[in-house]
Chains A and B, each alone.
Chain A
Amino acid sequence: MPTVASSTETPPVPAPPRGLWHPRLRGPRRSDLTDAVRAVVDVGHLLRFRRATMRRRGAFAAGMTLLLLLTATAATVPALTPGAGGDGRAFEVLLLLPTALGAFLALAVVSATASGGGRELLARDPAAVHPVSPTTDHLGALLLAPLNIAWLLQVWMLLGTTAYALGWRPLLVGAQAVLLLWVLTATAVAQAFAWALESARRLPHGVVGVRALVVGLLGAVVGLQVAGQLVATFDRIPTQWVVIGMITGDPWVLARTLLVLLGAFLLAVVLGAVPAHVAAHRVPRDEIGVEGSSYGVRRTPRTDLGVLLRTDRASVWRAVPMRRGITVLALGPALVAVIGNLPWSSMTVLPGLVASGGALLFGVNAWCLDGRGALWRESLPVTAAAVFAARAWVLAEFLLVASLVTVAVAALRAGLPTAAETAALVCTVVVVTVQVVAASMRWSAARPYAVDFRSARATPAPPLGMVGYSARLAISTTFTGLLFSGLSRIPEWRISVLVALPLLIWSAARLHRAYRRWLEPDQRARVVTTVAV
């Protein structure tokens, strides 16, 4: 009897006997070029399919227009500000640009690796019945990579930095073109690297090997930091030639830089398909490990809330995308904070960043945790209030765990905080957690989606929806973080508490509104029948 792999699981494609033609593998009747062309054409089909199944096309068009406008604004407006292109601060910013380009590449690698090769243009189960090649999957993931608020914010920051550093002059157009090509190239390289790591992770003992590699890299970063060599190492990243190509004003240098980057981009796109194919033909061991593991029997909890909490916790902590995502979220910003020697007063931006990212792992569509079990769970004799309380609590503790780990690691080099700094940080953690939980529970009831979290690449909502959610979360939590950052500089710690109270009451009221909505049988039925599909 099968006990692990589902009948819907895509099995690894076995190698055909020697000499026999096989439609999915290299053979005499089909050239690689034909396969590549077909893969590109299939991306078009899948995009059209996604567009046809889009719920709110008007909102999509408006969203895309807004993104383009913001990009154009970021690329031009800073060039018109006082001091732009000058010898003072603008020049200092220009000196930092090569490091910023390197940091973009590093973060792109982390992001693509954490999501197991990037997002899916078509989810794994629906895609299983179609002949979607790994190349199509790879190209789709590349196309979706920019629909990520972290990616967009970094690009806008780089465009703005370049515009400010160079000022309003003719070479800005060429410089921004080089920058955009660098961004695309770095994204494609990161994607290829992520596929390579994913294919390694799927080897026997690959999971352990990749974890060892990550720990080794973290150790190397810490070691460089301790030795005082980290900044020097970053400065040695060979991105200076890109910046030189941007700023020399020599059209030949500019053209050569553009051509080299374009070539590198195309090469990374093409080469990325190779590890994507390798990964697709191997079993995803992380996911299979979860499904094949035996979980020990624990005593039945004594309360309804207890058993609901246990079930929901299992749904969260046994999901590969949640475990990977929260690890990256908790440790990534913390590591940057340690390296940058972040002071306590600036540490208040971290909880909002981590909580927002945590909510984007499942919180914005919290009811999808039950998957196809939602209908059965709704038939159980328990109050809707208890079900809501358990789900909101599990989301809150998920976010809190990540935030507290981040703060604990970030605090390693920050020394002892003052009472005002402590109060500001504690208030930030509490306020952003309630803020994010309230927003997530509201969105979860308003726009539920059926999501299969078996894949490490799954996201709780469609790509553009994720951009909308992340932008709204980023705005509100960053505002909160900056507010308490300012308050931490005021010696009187009680002011932070006084400011936190109305913010908490406001978020609690919004959470209560989401709760009232969940109590309505019609709304609940709409949610459970949607996520159970």
Chain B
Amino acid sequence: MRDNQQPAPVVDVRSLHVRFGEVEAVAGVDLQAHAGEATALLGRNGAGKSTTMRVLAGVVPLTAGSARVAGHDVRTEPLRVKQVVGYCPDVGGLVPRATPWEHLQLAARLRRMTGWEEHGRDLLERFELGDVAHRVTAGFSHGMSRRLSVVLAALHLPQVLLLDEPFDGVDPIGVEATFEVIADARARGACVLVSTHLRELAVEACTSVSVLRGGSRVATLAAEEMAGEEGARAYRGLLD
């Protein structure tokens, strides 16, 4: 039922379960995220952050529960979900023998974008990838790959921006550029989810933080509550 005070969440996950054979990667996550807000997903390795992101990106099917993205059910409307989502996966995320520009062309064509070239070039320049736009990504460093993955997620100004470990191995210029992408997305009313291990960066980039443990959500707090030493203690307390 819709709350009169609070607009309907753009990302609405209820009792999400994802099972791979005997392994339960996500065990009952509930998560709501709203337009114009950035939510960080924090937690230890194996907490279910990346799997939750993959479900929201329409890459991995859920086993039980429900997940809606911008009003679309990920189970029954996966293509609609993929149209409104921009996804930066946690690993790699790049086709090894395609160039950054060819990645942009692929994404733009499949999303029916026109006149995207100037924006694409601008994004590449902001992430300092303009010089390598026509070289295959197989030779990229880890940081370069991460930066390009963020560019690809942001290209079509998605309604929902899913960034999984966007800061991992990225230099300060890349981190700043990612902050800008998140801020721009929020400013135009997009919903942003950032999964990361880097608590301080998550606090700086996001408005709220959800902590996952053992495949379930254990807390959702305002970002400032997780800041500084106090926040570090609170975070450790939630992980134990």
Task: Please say whether chains A and B are actual partners in one complex.
Answer: yes
- Contact among A291, A453, A521 for B135, CB-based, below 8 A: A291
Chain B CB count within 10 A is highest, among A294, A370, A375, for: A375
- Asked if A375 contacts B79 (CB within 8 A), the reply is no
Proximity bits, B87-122, A CB within 8 Å = 1, else 0: 111011111111101110111111100000000000
Q: From residue 511 to 533 of chain A, which have CB atoms closer than 8 A to chain B?
A: 521-522, 525, 528-529, 532-533
Nearest chain-B residue to A377 (Cβ)?
A: B95
Q: Supply 5 further A-B pairs (C-beta < 8 A) apart from A3-B131, A290-B97, A376-B88.
A: A7-B141, A288-B139, A373-B98, A375-B93, A525-B60
Contact B79–A381 (Cβ < 8 Å): yes
Closest to B75 in A: A521
Whether the pair B110, A379 counts as a contact (CB closer than 8 A) is: no
* Structural contact, B59 and A300, CB atoms closer than 8 A: no
Interface string of A2-45 (1 = CB under 8 A from B): 11111111000000000000000000000000000000000000
Q: Once the chains are docked, how many angstroms separate the CA of A189 from the CA of B141? A: 38
CA A378 – CA B107 in complex, angstroms? 11
A103 to B102, CA, bound (A): 45
Indicate whether B159 reaches chain A with its CB closer than 8 angstroms.
no
* Complex: A304 Cα to B58 Cα, angstroms: 19
Residue contacts A-B, CB under 8 angstroms, 9 given: A3-B139, A7-B141, A311-B95, A315-B96, A318-B97, A318-B136, A378-B58, A454-B138, A529-B59
| In the bound complex, CA of A383 to CA of B77 (Å) | 12
Q: Assess whether B94 is in contact with A376, with CB atoms less than 8 Å apart.
A: yes
Asked whether any CB of chain B lies closer than 8 Å to the CB of A297, the reply is yes
Q: How many residues of A contact B (CB 8 A)?
A: 54
Whether A532 lies near B92 (C-beta < 8 A) is: yes
Q: Are B60 and A379 in contact (CB under 8 A)?
A: no
A293 and B106 CA atoms in complex are apart in Å by: 20
Q: Closest CB-CB distance, A56 to chain B, in whole Å?
A: 16
Are B128 and A372 in contact (CB-based, < 8 A)? no
Bound Cα distance from A4 to B135, whole angstroms: 8
Query: A375 with B54: in contact, given A290-B97, A532-B89, A533-B91 (CB under 8 Å)?
Result: yes
A380 touches B101 (CB 8 A): no
Contact of A380 among B88, B96, B110, B138 (CB under 8 A): B110
The answer to whether the Cβ of A357 comes within 8 Å of any Cβ in the partner chain is no
- Say how far B81's CB is from chain A's closest CB, in angstroms: 8
Q: Which residues of B contact A290 (CB under 8 A)?
A: 97, 136, 138
Q: Which residues of A come within 8 Å of B, CB atoms? A: 1-9, 288, 290-297, 300-301, 304, 306-308, 310-311, 314-315, 318-319, 369-373, 375-383, 452-454, 521-522, 525, 528-529, 532-533
Does B212 belong to the interface (CB within 8 Å)?
Answer: no
The answer to whether B97 and A294 touch across the interface, beta carbons within 8 angstroms, is no
Most chain-B Cβ atoms within 10 A of its Cβ — which of A308, A315, A381? A381
Bound Cα distance from A3 to B140, whole angstroms: 6
Q: Is the CB of A525 within 8 A of B89?
A: no
Given contacts A376-B152, A380-B82, A522-B61, contact A6 B138 (CB under 8 A): yes
- Give 1 or 0 for each of B135-179: 1 = CB within 8 Å of chain A CB: 111111110110001001000000000000000000000000000
Closest Cβ–Cβ distance, residue A481 to chain B (whole Å): 32
- Complex contacts, A310 vs chain B, CB 8 Å: 102
- Chain A min CB distance to B175 (Å): 16
Q: How far is the CB of B197 from chain A (nearest CB, A)?
A: 18
Q: Which size class do B's interface residues fall under? A: 35 or more
Given contacts A375-B93, A378-B59, A380-B106, contact A1 B128 (CB under 8 A): yes
Contacts of A295 in B (CB 8 A): 99, 102, 134-136
Asked whether any CB of chain A lies closer than 8 Å to the CB of B78, the reply is: yes
B-side contacts of A306, CB under 8 Å: 109
- Nearest B residue to A370, CB-CB: B95
The smallest beta-carbon distance between B21 and chain A, in angstroms, is 10
**A245 → chain B closest CB, angstroms:** 49
Known: A296-B134, A373-B98. A379 touches B92 (CB 8 A): no
Residues of chain B with a CB closer than 8 A to A371's CB: 92, 94-96
Asked if B61 and A525 sit within 8 Å, CB to CB, the answer is yes
Q: Cβ of B95: which chain A residues have Cβ within 8 Å of it?
A: 311, 315, 369-371, 373, 376-377
Select one of B57, B94, B103, B145 contacting A379, CB under 8 A.
B57
Bound Cα distance A319, B96 (Å): 9
Docked pose: A512 CA to B183 CA in angstroms: 46
B27 interfacial by beta-carbon distance below 8 Å: no
Answer yes or no: B83 CB below 8 A from chain A CBs.
yes
Interface check B85, CB cutoff 8 A: yes
Which residues from chain B contact A532 at a C-beta distance below 8 Å?
89, 91-92
Q: Is the CB of A379 within 8 A of B82?
A: yes
Are B140 and A372 in touch, CB under 8 angstroms? no
B222 within 8 Å of A (CB atoms): no
CA gap between A468 and B228 in the complex, in Å: 58
A300:B109 contact, CB within 8 angstroms: yes
Q: Closest Cβ of chain B: how far from A281's Cβ, in Å?
A: 20
Residues of B within 8 A of A6 (CB): 138-141
- How far apart sit A108 and B182, CA to CA, in the bound complex (Å)? 56
Q: Are A311 and B106 in contact (CB under 8 A)?
A: yes
B132 interface hit (Cβ, 8 Å): yes
A375:B102 contact, CB within 8 angstroms? no
CB neighbours (8 Å) of A528 from chain B are 59
Residues of A within 8 A of B139 (CB): 3-6, 9, 288, 291-292
Contacts of A369 in B (CB 8 A): 95
Q: Which residues of B contact A378 (CB under 8 A)?
A: 58-59
For chain B residues 43-99, which have a beta carbon within 8 Å of chain A? 54, 57-61, 78-79, 82-83, 85, 87-89, 91-99
Q: Smallest CB-CB separation from A6: which chain B residue? A: B139
A318 and B97 CA atoms in complex are apart in Å by 6
Residues of chain B lying within 8 A (CB to CB) of residue A307: 105-106, 109-110
Name the distance in Å between A97's Cβ and chain B's nearest Cβ. Answer: 45
> What is the chain A residue whose CB lies nearest that of B96?
A371
Complex A-B, nearest 5 residue pairs according to Cβ-Cβ distance, in ascending order: A372-B92, A291-B139, A373-B95, A375-B89, A381-B82
In the complex, what residue of chain B is closest to A297 when comparing beta carbons?
B101
Which of B88, B92, B111, B134 is the one whose CB lies under 8 Å from A381?
B111
Closest to A301 in B: B109
In the complex the two chains form, is A311's CB within 8 Å of B102's CB? yes
